[in-house]
Each structure stands twice: as structure tokens, then as C-alpha cells.
Amino acid sequence: MSAVIEELHHDGHHHGPDKGIMRWVFTTNHKDIGTLYLWFSFLMFLTGGVLALGIRAELFQPGLQIVQPELFNQLTTMHGLIMVFGAVMPAFVGLANWLIPMMIGAPDMALPRMNNYSFWILPFAFGMLLSTFFMDGGAPNYGWTFYAPLSTDYAPPSVTFFIFAVHMMGISSIMGSINVVVTILNMRAPGMTLMKMPLFVWTWFITAYLLIAVMPVLAGVVTMMLMDIHFGTAFFNAGGGGDPVLFQHVFWFFGHPEVYIMILPAFGVVSAIIPTFARKRLFGYDSMVYATASIAFLSFIVWAHHMFTVGIPLAGELYFMYATMLIAVPTGVKVFNWVATMWQGAMTFETPMLFAIAFVILFTIGGLSGLMLAIVPADFQYHDTYFVVAHFHYVLVPGSIFSIMAAVYYWIPKWTGNMYDETLGKTHFWLSFIGVNVTFFPQHFIGLAGMPRRIPDYALQFADWNMVSSCGAFLFGFSQLLFLFIVIKCIRGGKKATDQVWEGAHGLEWTIPSPAPYHTFTTPPTSMKEAHG
């Protein structure tokens, strides 16, 4: 993507990038692979976004205008799958690839060939998933959570390819995470002790652990589906002594840690950006590490809060309610620390900082609606309504996605050697900020009023706020074309970035030239005094 300069050849092992397209296919370089992940993720973000706009266009007014219910179900399902597995997760893996070796003073990721493999599985997996739109019976239509028996007895034939696509994504994630864990455990420069690592590295370390622990469980649950569909097993069929609710238990044992997989690296990004633009050290570094680890631990023991209405025993409902509410404690520690970092700081509001502050505020809104959903009797009302949709879009869009955008603005001068256009960046921020809130805030109201999720048509009393929400969605969606323009403009040129880029930035990645040379830290750095973010 960028005109990466070649480093001085002080020994025979320093190569610049190859010429031509095959550079990207054969590369083992963590920066190239990071770039591939980020562009792939952006492509999937636009694909999933187009599907979302299809949904919002249909919901602009009551009645069926644009798509039939069958296609509508495919749109919601594929939107969720593509955004979760194709947009958010690969974007964070891309950031991990670019940044972790530079942040810990490593020459590359620990297992470079496997790194390439982790990426190149993904285009094949999503090619297979998207091809289901053109198959008999259409694409998956059972929601991104693919509950049995909707996804087994009543699924279209394309479910087989959905299952194999998920297997491929899982293989990619597991290999990618093993690479991250091994890099962090084994490749740190001398003096970079664990408690000196930047928080982005810490949060990814914990995220990678979560991925290795739960992606195999996802592989397990889709394998059970495959066997139920094609080989007559009875996992999710009560007629054979199985239980459809078993599907939900296994799925959410994966699914809840998955939610934190999509937010913990975002915590790391925000913990890097806020200190830079507040020009203060991060408040409570140690407590941030422990809070992240606590959130990760709790994520394994709260899964059934997604299932309060399926009829689990009362003791189970109580346990999962209280365990879920416990997560608010370490999350509160994090929000407190971010605010305390900004407190009395010499703040400036460049684009990454705007996205980071919006993250803190809007993610907190999503967290608080999550607390409402955790209360069992309240959840009986909110379950499967637009309130749930509003809740998880608040943590995923102005949460995960905003943090990814913040990260791109924050580190793109290091990647390309050029500053992005600040005016355009701020315009992009405000358009996105307004678009997101106009889209998702009204969904709280229609959800509390009783509008169910995943339906193409609705009662008249929900019409006004749905129209508002659809307008916001189109504003947010088309604003992302501006983001694409800003990124391309920055790659092609602009004000030259200094090595440190940001006046308040600390950490090893800011000690190397901008743009970062093709190979960095082939011998480990000696000075760690800049290391502590």
C-alpha cells in the first residue's frame, strides 16, 4: 500500500519488498500482512455495510418495499457474519501484525509463514460464504447466531458451505492468535518485561488467549450441526435425546468471549491514544492490565445471559445475572482510568483523540444498556427486541469500529510517512459520530416499545424512529467513503510525518523512522526508557 523505503543494507539479510502483485501473495513480512488484513477488513466492512443499508432501506417505512422476507433474513444473517468475522476481527489482527513487533522490539512475528497462511485463508473463506447468495435456497438465513434447529432441520442447503467457511475462519483465527501469543512471549526485546508492555500488546495477548480457547468450541458446534444435518446425529434434536438448547450453550460459550475478542484490542488502542493527546502517562497501568485479565476470565462464565428466556433453571438465571453484572466492575475501572488520564491533561483534539473520546462515552452507553439486559426480569421484556440491537451496535460500532478508525488515524503517519488531512479527518469523525447516534439511539426507543429484531416489516407505531434510524444509517455508511478517500490521499502524499509523529507519543514504534522501514529491529533495541506507553 505504501511506498516503503528500503533500509540500509548493513548485512545481507535485509531485503526490501518484492516488486509486483506476488509480493502480497508470498509475503512473510508482518507489515505487508498487516496491510493485507486491514484492506481485506475494509472491503468486508463495505460489503457488510451494503447489506446493512439494504436492511435499513427496507425498514425505512412499514410494509414490504424492497426485499422479500426470505432475502431480508439472508441480509441480517450475512451482515452479522461478515461484520464480526470479516470486518472487526481481521482489522484487529491487522493492527496486531503491524504494531506488536514494532512495540516490543521484535524483527517480525514469531512464525512468519504461518502468518501469511492465516491471512490468505480468509479471502477463500469469505469467497465461499458470499457464494451462498447464488446457491439454491439462498444464503444463510438463520441469524448470525445460527440457532438450531433453524440452522439444521430448517436450513437451506448452503448451510454446509457456511459451516466450512466458519471452519476456515476458525483455523485462520487460531493460527493468527498462536502467532500473537508466541510473539509476545518469546520475541520481546531485552528489558521489555511483561509489565512494561504497551497496553495494546497486553490486550492482544489476552485476546489471543481467548481466541485459542473459544474458536475450537465454535468449530465443535458447527461440526455438531454438520453431523446433525448430514449424518443423522441427535445433538440438537430432542427426538433423539439431544436438546436444541444445547446448541445455544455451546454457541454462547464461544460467543460471549467472542464479544470481548472484539473489544479488548479496542481498549488497548484507546489506552494508547488518550495518554498521547492528554500528554500524561496512562492512569493506573497495572490496574488496566488486571482489569483486562478479569474481563477475559469473567467472559467464560457468563454465557447463558444470552439465553435467559429459553427456560434455564432459576438458580442458573440468578447465577448468570450476578456474574454478568460483575463485569461492570473491571470495565468501570477502565473507564475511570481513561477519564483520570484526561483529567488535567494538556489536551488537544486531533482525529484519533476525537474517536477515542467518542469511544469512551458511547461504549459506556453500550455497557450500561448491557447492564440493563443483564437483569433477568428486565431481559424478559427486552429479549429479541431492537433494544438488544441498539445495545450491541453501541459497543461494536462506536466501540470496536471507532477504535479501529482511531488506530488507523493514529498510526497511519507511521505506516505511510505522511500525515492524513486533519480537516477531512475531523469531518469524517463528526459525520460518523452523528450518523452512528442517529442510527442506533432511536433503536433503544423502538426496542423498549416492543419492536422485535430480525423482521422486515413492523407495526405503524414504530415508523417514525425507524425512518430516523435509516437516515442515520445512510449518513454513517456513505461517510465511510470519505474515510477511504482520506486513507488513499494519505498513502499518496501529504505533509511528511516526523519519527515521533505526535508530540506526546511514547513507545518503541515512535523511535523508528516514518514510514517504518520494511524490516525493523532485526537486532533488538537496547534502550527501554521510551517503551512504557
Partner 1 sequence: MSAQDAYEEYYVPHNSKLPIFASFGIFLTLYGMGNMFNEMKAGVDSSFGELVFMTGSLVMGGTLFAWFSVVIKENQEKLYSNQMNRSFVWGMSWFIFSEVMFFAAFFGALFYVRVFVVDWIGGVGERGPSNMLWPEYQPHWPMLNTPDPIRFPGAADFVHWWPLPFVNTALLLTSSVTVTIAHHGINEGNRKKLVTWLGFTVVLGLIFLCVQAYEYYHAYTDLGLTLNAGIFGTTFFMLTGFHGAHVTLGTFMLAVMFFRALKGHFSKEDCFGFEAAVWYWHFVDVVWVGLFLFVYILGT
Least separation in angstroms between residue 49's CB and partner 1 is 25
C-alpha cell at 423: 480537516
Out of 10, 13, 19, 529, the residue judged to bind partner 1 by CB under 8 A: 13
- Other C-beta atoms closer than 10 Å to the C-beta of 526 total 9
How far is the C-alpha of 392 from the C-alpha of 266, rounded, in Å?
Answer: 15
CB of 11 to partner 1, least distance (A): 9
Distance CA 6, CA 31 (A): 13
- For 117, residues 6+ apart whose C-beta sits below 8 A from its C-beta are 172, 175
Query: Within 10 A of 396 (CB to CB), how many other CB atoms are there?
Result: 23
Q: Which three cell numbers stand for residue 371?
A: 447492564
Contacts of 403 (CB under 8 A, 6+ apart): 265, 266, 267, 269, 270, 355, 356, 359
Question: In whole angstroms, how close is the CB of 478 to partner 1 at the nearest point?
Answer: 33
Helix (H, G, I), strand (E, B) or coil at 418: strand
Q: Which of residues 32-91 bind partner 1 (CB under 8 A)?
A: none
Q: What's the maximum distance between 2 C-alpha atoms anywhere in the chain?
A: 72
> Binding string to partner 1 for residues 106 to 125, with x set by CB under 8 A, is what?
xxx-xxxxx-xx--xx-xxx
Give Cα 162 to chain centroid, integer Å: 20
Report the residue number, 168 or 491, with the smaller CB distance to partner 1: 168
Q: Which of 2, 61, 145, 160 binds partner 1 (CB under 8 A)?
A: 160
By the rule CB under 8 A, 149 interacts with partner 1: no
Single out the residue of 9, 26, 64, 290 in contact with partner 1 (rule: CB under 8 A). Answer: 26
Sole binder of partner 1 in the list 230, 492, 495, 496 (CB under 8 A):
230
Shortest distance, position 279 Cβ to partner 1, whole Å: 32
H-run or E-run covering 167: helix 159-186
Letters for 239-278 (x = contact with partner 1 by CB under 8 A, - = none) are: xxxxx--x--xx--x-------------------------
Report in angstroms the alpha-carbon separations of 87 from 49, 394, 407.
Answer: 10, 16, 15
Exactly one of 139, 174, 273, 321 binds partner 1 (CB under 8 A); which one?
174
The least CB distance from residue 111 to partner 1, in Å, is 6
Give the separation between CA 312 and CA 318, rounded to whole angstroms.
10
Q: How far is the CB of 386 from partner 1 (least distance, A)?
A: 28
Beta bridge partners of 452: 385
User: Residue 498 phi/psi, 5° resolution?
Assistant: -80, 175
Q: Pick out residues in 287-316 that bind partner 1 (CB under 8 A).
A: 311-314
Residues involved in catalysis: 79, 108, 144, 172-173, 256, 258, 260, 271, 305-306, 331, 334, 453
Report 192-221 residues binding partner 1 (CB under 8 A).
212-217, 219-221
CA of residue 282 relative to chain centroid, distance: 23
Q: How many residues bind partner 1 (CB under 8 A)?
A: 84
Least Å from the CB of residue 67 to partner 1: 25
Cα–Cα dist 251/257, whole Å: 11
Neighbours of 313 (CB within 10 A): 8
- Buried residues in 436-449 as b, exposed as e (16+ CB within 10 A): bbbbbbbbbbbbee
Part of the chain binding partner 1 (CB under 8 A), chosen from 77-85, 223-231, 276-284, 437-445: 223-231
Among 15-23, 55-63, 415-423, 481-489, the segment contacting partner 1 (CB under 8 A):
15-23
Q: Single out the residue of 8, 19, 21, 232 in contact with partner 1 (rule: CB under 8 A).
A: 232
